Amino acid sequence: MMAPSSKSLRARDAWRLGNAGRVLGDALTRFEARVLELMADSGHGQTRLSHVKLTRHLDLAGTRITELARRARMTNAAMTELIDQCETLGLVVREVDASDKRVRTVHFTEAGSEWLVAFGKAVKKAERELFAEIGPEAAAVLLEGLGRYAGAVESIRVGGKTAP
């Protein structure tokens, strides 16, 4: 039996490289790498993608650890480890929940709030670069379409509404 040619292997394997999940993942990898690069340029080189997984789900008024874990689709233990790291960096602090003394909520520190401003600027700049590369019409379609698609994901809903 003859081995398939490399051309026929590539043709049969093309779906793995060009499917929506792969393209979205590759685009996200590029976007996040650019955001981290911009964060490093602004003096926040300690930022890791895992820290973003915590901070993107942390409400400005504070959030319970169990809720952070649920939103991020992580175990409480894994989220607690991220909180430990961000606490060491001075970005967040744990406080006793006023409504239940057994529960801890996580809040941004002053330094964490400053980090969040820098992160917002980095995201906006990376978005402008993305939009400049693909064009404003494609960018509008991309955000609208992906927003509709992502709206079906329960973990990004807060109080019944899609989280920003």
Rounded CA separation 84/51 (Å): 10
Confirm if 61 and 67 have CB atoms less than 8 A apart: no
Q: Which residue has the higher pLDDT, 153 or 116?
A: 116
| pLDDT higher at 12 or 154 | 12
- Report d(CA 55, CA 115) in Å as an integer: 10
Residue 10 in this model has a pLDDT that exceeds 90:
no
Tell which phi-psi region holds residue 43, choosing left (phi > 0), alpha (psi between -120 and 50) or beta: left
Angle at 126 between CA 139 and CA 132, to 5 degrees: 45
Q: What is the pLDDT of residue 159?
A: 46
Give me the pLDDT at residue 92, please.
98
Least confident segment among 1-15, 126-140, 149-163: 149-163
Residue closest to 18 by CA, chosen among 9, 7, 26: 26
Are residues 117 and 76 in contact, defined by beta-carbon separation less than 8 angstroms?
no
Contact in structure between 139 and 130 (CB atoms under 8 Å): yes
Mean per-residue pLDDT, 72-80: 95
Q: Please report the domains of the chain, with CATH numbers, ordered by start residue.
A: 34-159 (1.10.10.10)
Please state the rounded mean pLDDT for residues 135-145. 93
The band of 162, judged by pLDDT with boundaries at 50, 70 and 90, is very low
Residue-wise pLDDT for 111-133, tens only, equals: 999 999 999 999 999 999 999 99
Closest CA to 27 of 122, 157, 139, 109: 139
Contact in structure between 76 and 97 (CB atoms under 8 Å): no
Question: pLDDT tens across 55-69, in order?
Answer: 999 999 999 999 999
The predicted pLDDT at position 154 comes to: 56
Both tokens of residue 26?
A: 């590759």
